[in-house]
Amino acid sequence: MDYTQLGSEILTHVGGRQNVNKLTHCATRLRMEFNDDAKVNAQAIEALPGVISVVQRGGQFQIVVGNNVQQTFRAMQKEIGDLSGQAGGQQKQKAKGGIVSQIISVISTTFTPVIPAITGAGMIKALLAILKLTGVMSAASPTYHLLDTISDAAFFFLPVLLAYGASIKFECNPILAMTIAGALLHPNLAQMMAAGTAIDFIGIPVRLADYAGSVLPIIFTVWLMSYIERFAEKVSPTMIKFFTKPMIILLVTAPLALVVVGPFGIFLNDVVASGAAMIDGKASWLIPMLMGGLQPFLVITGTAWAMTPIATGQLSKNGFEMINGPGMLASNIAQGAATLCVAFRTKNKNLRQLASSAGFTALLGITEPSLYGVTLKLRRPLIAAMIGGGCAGIYAGLSGLVRYAFVSPGLAALPAFIGENPMNIVHALITCAIAIVVTFALTWILGFDDPVEEVTEPQDTARLSGDPQQILSPLAGEAVALDQVSDDVFSQGLLGQGIAIIPREGLLRAPVDGEVVTFLPSRHAVGIRGDNGVEILMHIGIDTVSLGGKHFTSALQVGDRVKTGDELVRFDIPAITALGYEIITPVLVVNSEAYPQLMCRQPGEVSFGETIITLNTAKENA
């Protein structure tokens, strides 16, 4: 799969890179916000090869790609460039939706950059639990204490980490936001609390609180800071704005955070925590059952983030949580079981391949490919997964199952359920077993409508026949091996196998008959799908996307039909190289996995129209 091409096609259907206001990603999906939602063609994006589904929830446009989301994100980020000034001169579209949708959007945007830190810290905690349980390391050893300190850091300084994510959401200075979070965590405040003396600020009483690991206070504070920053921007004289603007922001925001916003956030934290504890005390099975059964619905609607602040707060204060982890473990394992059952029963080869991969991934804790690619489309397996997850969730709640580390619950994250209670991991294993057995049996009994296998299109006949195919040189210059390209994405064949050419003339021609499927606004890269099924990407230069089309000329458009030898792009080699860019041009077969035999010509001088790559689908011994 060519994820550079996928990223380019996504950008085309969202109205171009100029329309992208925010671009982030999580484990399986791209998360985007736009200047104008009307320019976005969701149906066209969902139809793209490599896109599992499109979700518009929680104030974000989400594109489910699966485990290779990072490759797509990097390709898109490279094309888009810096988004900090992207909306300049444009009227940014206000977020639509109700208050719940806006709250979910704030939580998801704030927490997304933080997830790697708290996940990594959580896994170190899980590792320490294993080492302690097996007697490999004593809890009294200096090494244990140092590793424990490292794992605690992400949770202790959580307000600082969240300040960064919140500053992205509220569009204010991230460094100043993190500085204010640092003020909330300053050791001087802890000393004042320990002294127990009354504190006031210009006569106003200050309620000191422990903000380590807190969530809501810093989110509220950064939201307030975003307005104070705009005020400081307006009132600061231009000549001394560099000094006065940050001073005003800190001088106004930090005291407000300590006197008003912080204590209010701590109060809300306490109310939410007390409510969760009360529910757990009265009906310990209720929350895990609801999470285990309704988690797919929460993911689909984008509201799965709603419980994250509560769970994170519990982990920070108590060292364990029972809000998210137990129910999500039941739900994730149930999704995997339902999807693998589909893989066993289906006669459709494509569905079997997708379900096998997605089902295994879901068992490990990542369910979006399973949910959007299989169970949601087939419906009855989704119902089975929700029932199985709910049943397993009841056991998790009744047994008192808790999660000791912030990781996506699944078989790979079972160490996160190892802690002070040695039976906790046993209860986690039983929860998994219930989810697998109940869900698999229900999916088998309920069945599903097996999709009919698609017939291969006529245009693929030549490719599937095993007849050798030739790709002609699109350039005149010096042919070199692909590993000579300085960009690892090309040299390591991550986008496909092929050859590179150092052109001596600034003219790119079509190497095959076919259709233009990729042509970026920067005009430096062209993708063609040949009539024989071969998919070719030609990338003129390294990092030349940064030129934004300067020194490149072409009238080409996506969808154009081209014949071998047709002019595609003209480019000014002296001007491009004078700016410090390499002009070496990779010519890649992006679907090279379809060709067991792919042979490139030897390095040396090459002219337009010479054969540079020979392809054959027949196996070597055929």
Cα dist from 49 to 1, 67, 481, 512, 521, whole Å: 8, 14, 29, 22, 21
Confidence at residue 358, expressed as pLDDT on a 0 to 100 scale: 84
Q: Does residue 404 surpass a pLDDT of 80? A: yes
Which of 26, 172, 427, 432 does the annotation list as catalytic? 26
Under a CB-based contact definition with an 8 Å cutoff, are residues 149 and 178 in contact?
no
Q: Provide the mean pLDDT of the chain.
A: 83
**Who's near 238: CB < 8 A, 6+ residues apart?**
none
Give catalytic status of residue 539 as yes or no: yes
pLDDT digits (tens, 9 = 90+) for 342-399: 999 998 887 888 888 888 888 988 787 788 778 888 889 999 999 999 999 999 999 9
- In angstroms, the CA 86 to CA 330 distance is 42
Q: Which two tokens stand for residue 411?
A: 């078989």
Helix (H, G, I), strand (E, B) or coil at 520: coil
DSSP 454: P
- Averaged over 409-424, what is the pLDDT? 85
Confidence at residue 95, expressed as pLDDT on a 0 to 100 scale: 45
- In angstroms, the CA 126 to CA 403 distance is 10
Under a CB-based contact definition with an 8 Å cutoff, are residues 365 and 413 in contact?
yes
Confidence at residue 83, expressed as pLDDT on a 0 to 100 scale: 60
pLDDT digits (tens, 9 = 90+) for 585-597: 999 988 887 887 8
Q: Does residue 606 surpass a pLDDT of 50? A: yes
pLDDT digits (tens, 9 = 90+) for 24-56: 876 667 888 888 888 888 888 888 888 877 877
Contacts by 354-357 with C-beta closer than 8 Å and gap 24+?
A: none
Under a CB-based contact definition with an 8 Å cutoff, are residues 100 and 303 in contact?
yes
- In angstroms, the CA 222 to CA 171 distance is 10
- In angstroms, the CA 62 to CA 300 distance is 10
Confidence of residue 100 (pLDDT cuts 50, 70, 90): low
Helix (H, G, I), strand (E, B) or coil at 365: coil
Q: Does residue 88 surpass a pLDDT of 50? A: no
- In angstroms, the CA 318 to CA 155 distance is 11
Cross-strand partners of 478 = 502, 605
- In angstroms, the CA 585 to CA 19 distance is 29
pLDDT digits (tens, 9 = 90+) for 173-190: 999 999 999 999 998 887
More confident residue, 238 or 143: 143
Q: Does residue 276 surpass a pLDDT of 60? A: yes
pLDDT digits (tens, 9 = 90+) for 284-308: 778 888 888 888 887 766 566 667 7
- In angstroms, the CA 415 to CA 128 distance is 9
Confidence of residue 440 (pLDDT cuts 50, 70, 90): very high
Confidence at residue 619, expressed as pLDDT on a 0 to 100 scale: 52
- Averaged over 415-426, what is the pLDDT? 86
| 89, containing H or E segment | none
What's the one-letter identity of residue 291? M
pLDDT digits (tens, 9 = 90+) for 8-17: 889 888 888 8
Q: Does residue 112 surpass a pLDDT of 70? A: yes
Q: Which two tokens stand for residue 517?
A: 């499927």
What's the one-letter identity of residue 375? T
Q: 3-state DSSP helix/strand/coil percent for the chain, to nearest 5?
A: 55, 15, 30
- In angstroms, the CA 31 to CA 22 distance is 8
Q: Does residue 93 surpass a pLDDT of 60? A: no
- In angstroms, the CA 72 to CA 188 distance is 45
More confident residue, 516 or 302: 516
Give catalytic status of residue 26 as yes or no: yes
Handedness of CA 179, 181, 186, 191 (dihedral sign): positive
Confidence of residue 467 (pLDDT cuts 50, 70, 90): low
Confidence at residue 98, expressed as pLDDT on a 0 to 100 scale: 57
Confidence at residue 459, expressed as pLDDT on a 0 to 100 scale: 43
Torsion of CA 56, 57, 62, 63, to 10 degrees: -50
- In the 3-class helix/strand/coil scheme, how is 31-67 assigned residue by residue? EEEECCHHHCCHHHHHCCCCCCEEEEECCEEEEECCC
Torsion of CA 8, 14, 20, 25, to 10 degrees: -70
Under a CB-based contact definition with an 8 Å cutoff, are residues 66 and 25 in contact?
no
Maximum mean pLDDT: which of 3-12, 217-226, 488-497, 542-551? 217-226
Tell me whether strands 53-57 and 497-503 are parallel, antiparallel or unpaired.
Answer: unpaired
More confident residue, 295 or 440: 440
Q: Which two tokens stand for residue 473?
A: 């040189």
- In angstroms, the CA 77 to CA 279 distance is 44
Which of 25, 427, 539, 551 does the annotation list as catalytic? 539
Cross-strand partners of 616 = 597
